[in-house]
Amino acid sequence: MAIATATQAASEDKELLISGSEAVAEALVLVDLDVVTAYPIRPYDTVMQAIAKKIANGQLVAEYIVAEGEHSQFEIVKHASTVGARVFCGSSGVGWMYAMECLVVTPPLRVPMVALVGNRALDDPGAFGVEHNDALVVRDLGWMLCWIDTSQEALDTTLIAYRVAEDRRIFLPLAISADGAFLTHSQAITLVPPKEKVDRFLPRYDRGDLLLHPDNPITVAPQANEDWVIEIRRQNDEAMKRAVGVIEEAYADFRRIFGRGPENPWFEEYMAEDADVILIGMGTISLPLKVAIRELRAKGKKVGLIRLRWFRPFPFERLAQALGRAKAIGVIDRDYSFGSPFHSGVVANEIRAAMYNADTRPPLLSFICGLGGREVMLEDVYKAVDMCYAAATAGKSDSKTHWLGVRE
Amino acid sequence: MAETTFTNATQVLEPFRGIKKVTIEEYFTSGHRTCQGCESALVMKLMVKAAGPRTIVLGSTGCMYVANTTYYTTPWVVPWMHTQLGSSGSAALGTAAGLKVLMRKGKMKAEPINVIAFCGDGGGADMGLGAISATMTHKEYNSLILLYDNESYANTDIQLSGMTPYGAHTTFSPPGKAKRIIHTRWKKNMAGMMAAGHPESRYVATVCASYAVEMMNKVRRALSIGGPTFIHSLDPCPKGWDYDPMLSHELGELAIETGIFPLYEVEDGVVKYYGKTKAIVEGRPRKPVREYLLKQGRFAHFTEEDLSYFQEKVDEQWEKWEIPGVVPFRKLDAAQAALNVK
């Protein structure tokens, strides 16, 4: 089905060989971006290089500001958004951390900023490679978070991101995570739709009664203290809950207009339908996992993959449903959460929590691998799958977290 | 989207010719909760009165946010938004850029809208210095950054900032038995730094609300000239400086008459002195700094030695600086130059 719709669309779509970052930049031209701020840090900065070129060539008319640090980078677009501009920003690793104060204030201000996080290991020691801890630090703050896997998904998700974030029912910022190097710098054939289709899909950003303008002289973010803060937190919570429906609506519309895109926005299922063991991961780790799964299937082992796209809002009900039918679950984190329950990664504990009220709770094993951009080897995956089978036979989890591919 | 014919024009705000010509409309009214005698609240009122109704104000964290702008009792008649402590520069830049692009692309009715971001001395001269500096180089965006300087982090209990005068008693620099002076740094020369360090900013000025019409006219000048502009306002603070609130205006006057705080503007690179400062530059004697310092409890622990040190530093700024009160460089004297040649 995916192949059929792609062929259908091909007549109008432009085919380009581009990286994940370049695909995001293509989408930003299509959404007629207004203000963008850049600051260099690898690997996300490739998107800013691509945008700068597009502005220089006249493909995009936007204010392009090179800030003097990530804090300013995020504050500038935050303020531009409050006067009605469609904005884009992004960062990686410790750069994202440098902007932390601004990341905190953006959701309660109901600023629908879209950002690209080129996932990168946090300092120290220095490493350019991928870890998901950078983006994950905002998981509790009202940012919508998703992880992408291909250039095509980068472009499509950027279009969807503006549609969701700028929906008046939501008005929350959204960060798209792309694995550093593996996606930000890797090229693939990508379909770029015509602008006319994008205009049908994405309405203009309308800030409405929240617009900061002399015709609408409001006071934004006064000192509220205990009189009102809990109510404001509750409003954010409600917006995040509403995001579930708005995301599903957006993906359905996307499929209708562009003729591609997943039916299930929340996660990709790869041979998971009949699987005894389901592996779970986010981002480009899907590639080695899929290769391993095909090899294992050839040997008669029924293994499948769930690649999580959306982390916030977290699709806990659908996940519990999809995972309940497996005999064992293996969660592979490309992140860490030192001192957490079972000393697991972040995703494993989110899934444990999601499964707590489920009718069937298969044994869950937790793995950490690929930190700092280390390649995930097939042998590591086979080892993890073997452990999952053992847990399935035993009928219980081992309450440990297994680090794969580490020199001990 | 295609670009429209957008001019990036500013509002034309002619100076008020005397106090009786000042507009009666207020855009900062009741609702604020600042202390009795708060000069900074007056600065807010005069600033936005000078700017007029087609203005957006961004306020970074500090007294003029926390004490001044409370939910349900906002004093702001014009649109107002909070920004983070170190973000006044970014707030000005982002707001100006947002307005500009929407007008350029025909998404918003084109009209000149004033953008003013204010910051305290902590937010502006300490934490937000980098962001303000960056904004001061973006000549294509019209904005004014106003630093209201009450010489401490006055909202959080009076802690010293990079703008607190030498030796002042703050909660982070209390005089004690072993050490009389904890705060040994000399205050930053903020307006001079802004003017000297950002050659494409067309307007930098210092003001004091004790001279209200002059202050408003400098705000109007900054907004009319456009590009990034900067105004530094010295604001006596009864709570932080420890004096009777009725003396706020008098202390402002004394700061200028003693030569501690000069009133000037730098427009297109040309320095122009104002009022009593002008008289000082022309040779009129300055009042001794002790007349100013000893009226304030924060200097109550000063000995004669401290007062002399303070006086010497102020003398230096008038007698030795290349541009008195503004730029602290000195020309090499002839004897020194001869030594250097060798």
Nearest to A76 among B97, B113, B130 (CB): B97
The residue out of A258, A276, A298 marking a domain boundary is: A258
Q: Are residues A182 and A307 in the same domain?
A: no
Q: Are residues A230 and A271 in the same domain?
A: no
Q: Does A11 score more than 80 pLDDT?
A: no
Q: Are residues A277 and A228 in the same domain?
A: no
Residue A4's pLDDT is what?
46
The more confident residue out of A187 and B332 is A187
Looking at residues B38-59, what average pLDDT do you find?
98
Going by DSSP bridges, is the β-strand pair A114-119/A87-91 parallel, antiparallel, or unpaired? parallel
Q: Does B2 score more than 80 pLDDT?
A: no
Q: Are residues A31 and A149 in the same domain?
A: yes
Nearest to A85 among B58, B84, B102 (CB): B102
Domains in chain B with CATH codes:
19-341 (3.40.50.970)
E strand segments, A238-309: 267-270, 277-281, 303-308
Output the domain CATH number for residue A220: 3.40.50.970
> What residues contact residue A367 under an 8 Å CB cut-off, 6+ apart?
A330, A331, A332, A333, A345, A348, A384, A401, A402, A403, A404
Distance CA A172, CA A85 (A): 15
Q: Are residues A193 and A297 in the same domain?
A: no
Report yes or no on A325 lying in a domain. yes
Residue A6's pLDDT is what?
47
Nearest to B95 among A71, A83, A227 (CB): A83
- Kindly report the length of chain B: 342
Report yes or no on A408 lying in a domain. no
Q: Does A7 score more than 50 pLDDT?
A: no
Q: Confidence class of residue A1 from pLDDT cuts 50, 70 and 90?
A: very low
Distance CA A274, CA B71 (A): 56
Span A311-366, pLDDT tens digits: 999 999 999 999 999 999 999 999 999 999 999 999 999 999 999 999 999 999 99
Q: Does B80 touch chain A (CB under 8 A)?
A: yes
The residue out of A258, A292, A326 marking a domain boundary is: A258
Distances (CA, A) of A156 to A87, A254, B179: 17, 8, 65
Report yes or no on A194 lying in a domain. yes
Cβ–Cβ of B102/A83 closer than 8 Å?
Answer: yes
Nearest to B134 among A72, A78, A85 (CB): A72
Nearest to B78 among A83, A84, A217 (CB): A217
Number of domains in chain A: 2
Distance CA A289, CA A270 (A): 10
Strand order in the sheet with A328-333: A267-270, A303-308, A277-281, A328-333, A364-368, A401-403
Residue in this structure with the two tokens 């640090």, named with its chain if needed: A69
Looking at residues A378-402, what average pLDDT do you find?
97
When the pLDDT of each residue in chain B is averaged and rounded to a whole number, the result is 95
> What residues contact residue A358 under an 8 Å CB cut-off, 6+ apart?
A320, A321, A323, A324
Nearest to A214 among B78, B87, B107 (CB): B78
Q: Are residues A156 and A238 in the same domain?
A: yes
Q: Are A376 and A179 in contact (CB under 8 A)?
A: no
Report yes or no on A160 lying in a domain. yes
Burial of A189 (C-beta count, 10 Å sphere; 0-12/13-18/19+): exposed
DSSP label at A132?
S
Q: Are residues A303 and A221 in the same domain?
A: no
> What residues contact residue B36 under an 8 Å CB cut-off, 6+ apart?
B238, B245
Q: Does B314 score more than 60 pLDDT?
A: yes
Residues in chain A closer than 8 A to B84 (CB atoms): 71, 75, 101-102, 105
Span B198-229, pLDDT tens digits: 999 999 999 999 999 999 999 999 999 999 99
Q: Does B155 touch chain A (CB under 8 A)?
A: no
Nearest to A75 among B56, B84, B108 (CB): B84
Distance CA B45, CA A300 (A): 78
Tokens of A323: 């995972």
Q: Are residues A290 and A388 in the same domain?
A: yes
Distance CA A221, CA A212 (A): 12
Q: Does B341 score more than 80 pLDDT?
A: no
Q: Does B135 score more than 90 pLDDT?
A: yes
Residue A3's pLDDT is what?
47
- Element housing A88 (H / E): strand A87-91
Q: Does B131 touch chain A (CB under 8 A)?
A: yes
Domain that holds residue A298: 267-403
Q: Does B76 touch chain A (CB under 8 A)?
A: yes
Residue B152's pLDDT is what?
98
Going by DSSP bridges, is the β-strand pair A364-368/A328-333 parallel, antiparallel, or unpaired? parallel
Q: Are residues A148 and A202 in the same domain?
A: yes
Estimate to the nearest angstrom the gap between the alpha carbon of A267 and the chain centroid. 11
Percent of chain A residues topping a pLDDT of 70? 97
Residues in chain B closer than 8 A to A228 (CB atoms): 71
The residue out of A218, A235, A258 marking a domain boundary is: A258
Q: Does B260 score more than 60 pLDDT?
A: yes
Distance CA A131, CA A179 (A): 8
Considering only alpha carbons, which residue of chain A is nearest residue B81?
A220
Q: Are residues A299 and A355 in the same domain?
A: yes
Distances (CA, A) of A397 to A279, A326, A364: 14, 13, 5
Q: Does B304 score more than 60 pLDDT?
A: yes
pTM of the entire predicted model: 0.96
Q: Does B101 touch chain A (CB under 8 A)?
A: yes
Q: Does B26 touch chain A (CB under 8 A)?
A: no
Residues in chain B closer than 8 A to A217 (CB atoms): 76-80
Looking at residues A147-176, what average pLDDT do you find?
98
Shortest Cα–Cα distance, A247 to chain B (Å): 27
Considering only alpha carbons, which residue of chain A is nearest residue B102?
A85
Q: Please list the alpha-helical segments (H only) found in A128-224.
A: 133-136, 151-165, 195-201
In this structure, how many other beta carbons lie within 10 angstroms of the beta carbon of residue B111?
12
Shortest Cα–Cα distance, B45 to chain A (Å): 16
Span A394-404, pLDDT tens digits: 999 998 999 99
Cβ–Cβ of A71/B100 closer than 8 Å?
Answer: no
Q: Does B312 score more than 70 pLDDT?
A: yes
Q: Does B342 score more than 90 pLDDT?
A: no
Q: Does A213 score more than 90 pLDDT?
A: yes
Q: Are residues A240 and A312 in the same domain?
A: no
Q: Does B127 touch chain A (CB under 8 A)?
A: no
What are A's interface residues with B at a Cβ cutoff of 8 A? 32, 34-35, 61-63, 65, 67-69, 71-72, 75-85, 87, 101-102, 105, 204, 212-214, 216-225, 227-228
Q: Does B8 touch chain A (CB under 8 A)?
A: no
Q: Does A129 score more than 70 pLDDT?
A: yes
Shortest Cα–Cα distance, A313 to chain B (Å): 27
Distance CA B147, CA B205 (A): 11
Q: Does B45 touch chain A (CB under 8 A)?
A: no
Q: Are residues A116 and A247 in the same domain?
A: yes
Report yes or no on A204 lying in a domain. yes
Cβ–Cβ of A219/B54 closer than 8 Å?
Answer: no
Looking at residues A52-63, what average pLDDT do you find?
98
Nearest to A222 among B58, B70, B102 (CB): B70
Cβ–Cβ of A63/B100 closer than 8 Å?
Answer: yes
A&B contacts, CB < 8 Å: 147
Report yes or no on A321 lying in a domain. yes
Report yes or no on A65 lying in a domain. yes
- Closest by CA to B235, choosing from B45, B32, B22, B16, is B45
Span A60-112, pLDDT tens digits: 999 999 999 999 999 999 999 999 999 999 999 999 999 999 999 999 999 99
What is the residue type of B277?
A: T
Tokens of B285: 């004697």
Looking at residues B111-130, what average pLDDT do you find?
98
When the pLDDT of each residue in chain A is averaged and rounded to a whole number, the result is 96
Q: Does A127 score more than 80 pLDDT?
A: yes
Residue B334's pLDDT is what?
73
Shortest Cα–Cα distance, B192 to chain A (Å): 21
Q: Does B47 touch chain A (CB under 8 A)?
A: no
Cβ–Cβ of B101/A68 closer than 8 Å?
Answer: no
Q: Does B89 touch chain A (CB under 8 A)?
A: yes
